[in-house]
Structure 1
């Protein structure tokens, strides 16, 4: 089933992690889970490309990992709960990783979240904006 045919395809700013996305990102998420072991984190840090090449991920997924492009990784089937393993391997907090998906610094992102999160303006369903 194509994502565009799903009733939830148009949630503003959201990629729904469903069965289709789980299949798409299976190997990417398996790579992320491998980073739970210190020996694997070290191997990844030593030669990221060689480590990634052990997994049958798409070239686009591998490049997004190398670029630490979390927005793209989510679009390519990455689950945020697994993706944070990459930022953790880099010694970054979850907030630092998530802030890269915004136009905010880590501290600005944390301040926004402390104040209740992102405002709804500009983040509504297209049908609600009419």
Structure 2
């Protein structure tokens, strides 16, 4: 695998590296817990208490409350773990893609269809 050191990232891209993993450890640990239905239920019953249990910081808690996936990515969230959390909110990968692209879900779907036609 090639190193990304010294490379210029694509604007707006968050590289999930070791420092991001450390930054988002508690958040990702919480999201991993959502593999179990009883944990998803416990989260829905008491979001604040569940975030307390995993030690989320204030910024992470605010992003969870806002359902802001992009902010969660910036705060160390790993998309594969965040997918568990977003599923609880009824969001799918197209919803997240639309957030990343800064467009509505309908516009994002239209872009996907147009890209598939070329």
**Do these two structures clear the TM 0.5 threshold for a shared fold by scoring above it?**
yes
Structure having the higher helix fraction is: 2
Moved over 4 A (4+): none
DSSP-derived class of the 2:100 partner? coil
**1:97 alignment counterpart:** 96
* TM-score, normalised relative to structure 1: 0.77
How far apart are 1:15 and its partner, in Å? 0.7
Within 5 Å, which residues of 2 pair with 1:34-49? 34-49=33-48
How far apart are 1:50 and its partner, in Å? 1.0
Closer/same/farther in 2, CA of residues 85 and 78 from structure 1, 3 Å limit: same
Q: How far apart, CA to CA, are the structure 1 residues paired with 2:7 and 2:39?
A: 36
**2:66 alignment counterpart:** 67
Residue 52 of structure 2 is aligned to residue 53 of structure 1? yes
Closer/same/farther in 2, CA of residues 84 and 11 from structure 1, 3 Å limit: same
Partners of 1:27 and 1:55 within 8 A in 2: yes
* TM-score, normalised relative to structure 2: 0.83
**2:17 alignment counterpart:** 18
**1:122 alignment counterpart:** none
| Superposed CA RMSD | 1.8
Q: How far apart, CA to CA, are the structure 2 residues paired with 1:115 and 1:34?
A: 37
Q: How far apart, CA to CA, are the structure 1 residues paired with 2:8 and 2:64?
A: 25
Q: How far apart, CA to CA, are the structure 2 residues paired with 1:68 and 1:82?
A: 14
1:20-61 CA-to-partner distances (Å, cap 9, x unmatched) read 111111111111111111101111111111111101221111
